Amino acid sequence: MSSSAFGDFGPLTERRRAEKARQQRRRIMIAAGTISIIIILIAMGSAAVMYSGKKSSSDGGHKSASKGKSSGGSDSDSGAEAEAESEAESESGSESKTNLKAVSKSIKAMCSQTDYTDACEKSLGKAANASSSSPKDIIRSAVEVIGDAIGQAFDRADLILSNDPLVKGAVADCKEVFADAKDDLNSTLKGVDDKDGIAKQSYQLRIWLSAVIANMETCVDGFPDDEFKAKVKESFNDGKELTSNALALIEKGSSLLSVLKGGSKRRLLEEEGEPAQAGPALDKDGIPEWVPDSERRVLKGGGFKSTLTPNVVVAKDGSGKFKTINEALAAMPKTYDGRYVIQVKEGVYEEYVTITKTMKNVTFLGDGSKKSIKCEFQAEAALRDSGRPPIRNYLGRPWRECSRTIVMESELPDFIDKAGYLPWNGDFGLKTLWYAEFGNTGPGANTAGRVSWPGFKKVISKADATKFTVENFLHAQPWIDPTGTPVKYDLFT
C-alpha cells in the first residue's frame, strides 16, 4: 500500500487554509439548504391556502344555491339560479387552474431537492391533480410512479428468449425479485398512508425503497455480459431515477412535515460539526418508532422467553409435534394474526432451513445458544483426508463498486489464503472498495501476504473497529435490552 493513503496534507498553513475552505463550504450549504426549506414552506403554505379557499368557495356556492331554491319558484328566481350556477362553474374552473398552478409550484420546490429534477417534475406532473398539493400527496405520487416504470422494465426482461442457461436463469431471477420489489413498494405506500407515517417511519420507508433499487440491480447482474444485459440495464434507468428521487423526497419530507406539525426530533440540517442521525428514531421508551404497538408490548415485557408461548414444539427426540424445523415451518397457517412461535428443543438439526417472505412474524425460541443448535465445521479435515491439495479459501471479493467489508475478532484457520481476498473480475471495484481486519486470531489471521489493493487497510485501529460494533453500527442496545437477549455490544478485546 502506498504511503500516500495516510499521508499528511502538507504544511500547517495549508491545512488551516483547507479547513477554512471546508467550513466556508459547509456554511454555504447550510444557508442554501435553509433557503430551500423556506421556499418549500412558502409553496406548501400557498397550496394550503388555495385548497382552503377552494373548499370555502365551494361550500358558499352550495349554500347560496340552497337558499335560492327555498325562497320561491318564480321564473326570475330560476333565471337567477341558472346564472349563479353558471358563475359558480366558471369560478370553479378558474380555481381549479389556480390550484393546479399551486401544485405545480409545490412539485418544483420539492423536486429541486432530488438528483433527477427533470424526471421528478415530469413524472409527478402527470400524476398530480388539484386536490393533491400537500407534501404527503406528492411523496405518495413519487412512490406510485415507480411501480409503472419498473413493471415495464421487468416485463422487457421477461420477454427475452435465449437457449443460454445463464440467461434463462437470469430471467427466472428477475421474476422473483420483481415480486419482492412490488412488495417493498406496497409496504412503502402503506407506510406513507399511515398517520404521521413519513415523519415517524422515514428510516424504514427508505430501507424499503433501497431494497427496490437492490432488486433492480440483482435482475441486471444475473445476465452475462452481453447485449441482453446492456438492454436490461438501460430499461431500468427510469426506475432507478424515480426511486432515487422518492428516497430524497422522503428524507426531506420527513423533516418538513415535522416542522409543519410544530417541532421535530430530527434536525432539518446538520449542525456544524454534528453528523445527522444515522439510525431509526427512538421513542421515549427506547424502542424504534416504527415498531407496532403489539410488538412494543412484547419488547417491554421483560424478555421474549418469559412472555412468548410456543405455537408448536420441535424436538429431535420426538417429544414435540415435529421432529424437524422444516416440518414446523411447512405446517404454519397461511394467515396468522400475531407472532407465530416455534420452540426448538435441544438437539442437532441437520437441515437446510428456508424461511420465505410469506412466513410472517415467525419466531424461533430455543433452549439456549449452546443447546438447541450444535454445528461443527469439518470441511478442513475432510479436504486433508482426501489426499487432494487444499482448496484455497478467501474472506471476500468485491461483487459491486464501493464494496465494504471488515473481518474482526474471528478465528481464521490456515486454509484461508494468505492473499485474503480475491478479485471479482480483473480490476473491477478494486479502487472503490474498503476492506479491513481487526483482532483476528489463528493461522489465517496473518496479514503479511494480503493483497495490496488501494482500499485494503490491513489491520485498523481499535477506535476505527469500534465503529462496527453491535452498539455503534446497529444502535442496538435500546431495543435489544428489553428483550432479555444476551448480546455483546462492544469489542471482546
CA distance 285 to 278: 19
**What is the per-residue pLDDT for 68?**
44
CA distance 46 to 39: 11
Chain-centroid distance of CA 222 in Å reads 22
Determine the average pLDDT of the residues in 32-59: 51
**What is the per-residue pLDDT for 380?**
45
pLDDT tens-place string over residues 99-155: 667 778 888 888 888 999 999 988 888 766 655 667 788 888 889 899 889 988 888
One-letter amino acid for residue 464 of the chain: D
**What is the per-residue pLDDT for 308?**
75
Q: Return mean pLDDT, the chain.
A: 75
Give yes or no for residue 320 having a pLDDT over 70. yes
Ramachandran class of 338: left when φ > 0, alpha when ψ lies in -120 to 50, beta otherwise: left
Which among 60-69, 119-128, 347-356, 437-446 has the top mean pLDDT? 437-446
Q: Model-level pTM greater than 0.75?
A: no
Task: Annotate 28-69 with DSSP letters as a single string.
Answer: HHHHHHHHHHHHHHHHHHHHHHHHHHHHHHHHHHHHHHHHHH
CB atoms within 10 A of CB 306: 8
Give the pLDDT band of residue 269 (cuts 50, 70, 90).
Answer: very low
**What is the per-residue pLDDT for 62?**
46
